[in-house]
Amino acid sequence: MARIVILGAGIAGNTAAMYSRSFSKKEDEIIVISPNSKWNWIPSNIWVGVGLMSPEDVTFELAPIYQKMGITYKQAKAVSIHPEGSTSNDRGYVTIEYTNSLKSGTVEEVSYDFLINATGPKLNFGATEGLGPEKNSYSVCTYGHAVEANNALQESIQRMKKGERQKIVIGTGHGNCTCQGAAFEYIFNVEYILKHNGVRDKADITWISNEYELGDFGIGGMHIKRGGYITHSKIFTESLFVERGLNWITRAHVQKVEKDKLFYENLDGEEKSVDFDFTMLLPPFSGVGLKAFNKNKEEITSNLFAPNSFMKVDADYTVKSYEEWKSSDWPTYYQNQSYKNIFAVGIAFAPPHAISKPMKSPKGTPIFPTPPRTGMPSGVMGREVARSITDMIRTGSDKPTRSASMSSMGAACIASAGAGLFDGTAVSMTMFPIIPDYDKYPTYGRDINYTFGEIGLAGHWIKHILHYVFMYKAKGNPFWKMIPE
């Protein structure tokens, strides 16, 4: 009998758990440890943030799903990893602290044969003064945050209906934020909701981002095939902003957020400010802060984790210049090199470098997006790592059998720009590979035949369909494996 322990139950962790259970032997034990009692389809938090969906539409309770599937579930947060075990037992274990009401604060040691770190990110609001729902801005990173954002947005809409003009600012709240796509989708949904309420003319809407140009999205931008032409995502994105009357500020590092004003530094080193009545700013991410110890209880956190607290895997972390970076630097198996029975998937693994070109202001402030690792890639990683581990259990090998490198993986992204049955639209984009490979594709870094973008009603319908399909799959309903990640 083998025991697979999975830390986290988001897209990557839940997928890894389901496939681990599916491919392992009946006597093998699958344990999921997550501080949250609910699974959240995070992409649809955007719709919660504008009142088009409720938290119940984007979540479900984990415990009954895992009980049905034969997976042990512990509502707890992981505190530390002990990969060498203790002086009396060589079996690795994690220390956890329960977060449910019955056992809250209780500490337990959970041993493992294989460990998958799928903890996701820490929402590092503290990196920017005044940032976050508990201070002076809103977020859509969790369904709870999205509810708060919608409540504030509706207040602004009511003010507009009374004739007041409102300034709305949406984007990233730090010079090293990632997930521009979520803020991008949110700004277009806000614009749609304002039109739907008949108050669009009362709002000044501004985008603020650490991207060098619109359409970077943390992937260095891309050339897309559209309407028979090859267009850069900068042109594609700017046209969307112009068509909807949205202003934009790029190359910006938000320094501080006050009650009705944010301050930022741009790549030229200039310090400026923007007034607002409502603002939704995404925070930067870091790892959740797990510690690691050897069997003598000496801290070895730096062996497992990078300085940003994301877990090191089989990537090339050699310090190189931007011109020296290769797609092959990126991990293939997501296996920690010090401990072969530990893996990290989704946002939990440490990327070897950014995808967008690193830039600094004259004052030395880094202002560029860090790499996204969410959604479709996270699910694929979870699946392939689960398959590798079950193969390793059967063969007794320490070598993974399945790969899921982002340098050889394509991705599709659909960002809604409204939600009406016949007047909603969505931006649909695909790319291959996610990490540009200029050795293989010297002109554009990606295969232009598989990299394209469109906007229209069909993409919006697909976005809604995918919401229900992925909610269905995540619950382990019949034929769930037939639905791709």
pLDDT at 30: 98
Band (pLDDT 50/70/90 cuts) for residue 153 is very high
- How large a percentage of the chain has pLDDT more than 90? 87
Band (pLDDT 50/70/90 cuts) for residue 377 is very high
Rounded to an integer, the average pLDDT of 141-156 is 98
Rounded to an integer, the average pLDDT of 61-89 is 96
Residue 316 lies inside a defined structural domain of this protein: yes
Domain count, the chain: 1
Residue 137 lies inside a defined structural domain of this protein: no
pLDDT at 420: 66
Residue type, 218: G
Band (pLDDT 50/70/90 cuts) for residue 429 is confident
pLDDT at 422: 75
Lowest mean pLDDT among 152-166, 370-384, 389-403: 370-384
The number of C-alpha atoms within 13 Å of 192 and in the hemisphere containing its C-beta is 26
Higher pLDDT, 95 or 485: 95
pLDDT beyond 90 at 453? no
Look up residue 393 and give its two tokens: 């259990």
> Within a 10 A sphere around the Cβ of 90, how many other Cβ atoms?
9
CB neighbour burial string for 196-230, b if at least 16 within 10 angstroms, e if fewer: beebbebbebbbbbbbbbbbbbbbbbbbbbbeeee
Segment 40-59, tens digit of pLDDT: 999 999 999 999 999 999 99
CATH for 57: 3.50.50.100
pLDDT at 419: 65
Residue 306 lies inside a defined structural domain of this protein: yes
Residue 229 lies inside a defined structural domain of this protein: no
Average pLDDT, the chain: 95
Q: What is the 3-state secondary structure (H, E, C) of the chain?
A: CCEEEEECCCHHHHHHHHHHHHHCCCCCEEEEEECCCEEECHHHHHHHCCCCCCHHHHEEEHHHHHHHHCCEEEEEEEEEEECCCECCECCCEEEEEECCCCCCCCEEEEECCEEEECCCCEECHHHCECCCCCCCCECCCCHHHHHHHHHHHHHHHHHHHCCCCEEEEEEECCCCCCCHHHHHHHHHHHHHHHHHCCCHHHEEEEEECCCCCCCCCCCCCCEEEECCEEEEHHHHHHHHHHHCCCEEECCEEEEEECCCEEEEEECCCCEEEEECCEEEEECCEECCCCEEECCCCCECHHHHECCCCCECCCCCCCCCCHHHCCHHHCCCCCECCCCCCEEECHHHECCCCCCCCCCECCCCCECCCCCCCCCHHHHHHHHHHHHHHHHHHHHCCCCCCCCCCCCCCCEEEEEECCCCCCCCCEEEEEECCCCCCCCCCCCCCCCHHHCEEEEEHHHHHHHHHHHHHHHHHHCCCCCHHHCCC
pLDDT beyond 80 at 424? no
pLDDT beyond 80 at 407? yes
Look up residue 340 and give its two tokens: 């072969």
pLDDT beyond 70 at 296? yes
Q: β-strand 93-98 against 38-40: which pairing, if any?
A: unpaired
Residue 73 sits in which domain range? Answer: 3-123+286-395
pLDDT beyond 90 at 373? no
Nearest to 49 by CA among 170, 162, 165, 227: 170
Rounded to an integer, the average pLDDT of 159-173 is 98
Residue 17 lies inside a defined structural domain of this protein: yes
Task: Check: CB of residue 38 under 8 Å from CB of residue 471.
Answer: no
Band (pLDDT 50/70/90 cuts) for residue 226 is confident
CB neighbour burial string for 179-192, b if at least 16 within 10 angstroms, e if fewer: bbbbbbbbbbbbbb
Residue 68 lies inside a defined structural domain of this protein: yes
pLDDT at 72: 98
Residue 222 lies inside a defined structural domain of this protein: no
pLDDT at 364: 97
pTM for the model stands at: 0.96
- How large a percentage of the chain has pLDDT more than 70? 99
Segment 259-293, tens digit of pLDDT: 999 999 999 999 999 999 999 999 999 999 999 99
Residue 472 lies inside a defined structural domain of this protein: no
